[in-house]
Chains A and B, each alone.
Chain A
Amino acid sequence: MNPVLLSNQKLLPTALAAAVAAVLATTPIMAQAEGKLSIYHWFEYIPQTLLDKFSSEYGVEVTMDTYDSNESLLASLKAGKLGSYDVAVPGDYMVQIMAEGGLLDTVAEGELANAANIEEQWLNVPFDNGRKYSIPYQWGSTSFSVNRDVYQGDISSTDILFDPPAELAGKINMLDSQGEVMVLASLHLGMEQCSQDREKLKELDALLQGAKQHWASFGSDIAKDVLVSGDAAAGMIYNGFSAKAREEGANLEYAYPDEGYVVWMDNVVLLKDAPNRDNAIKFMDFLLEPENIAAVTNFAQYSAGVTGVAEFLDPALASSPEANPPTGPAGSFVAVCDQATQEVYDQLWTRLRK
Chain B
Amino acid sequence: MAEPLVARSALRPHVAPHASAAGAHGVTLREVENLTLASVAALRGREAELVQAVRAAYGLDLPTGPARVASGKVAFVGAGPGKWLAVSSAPTEFSTLPAAVADQSDGRTVLRVSGPKARETLATLIQLDLHPRTFGPGDAAMTHAASIAVHLWQVDDAPTYEIATFRTFAATLWRWIVEAGQARGLDARAED
Does B bind A?
no
B residues neighboring A (CB under 8 Å):
none
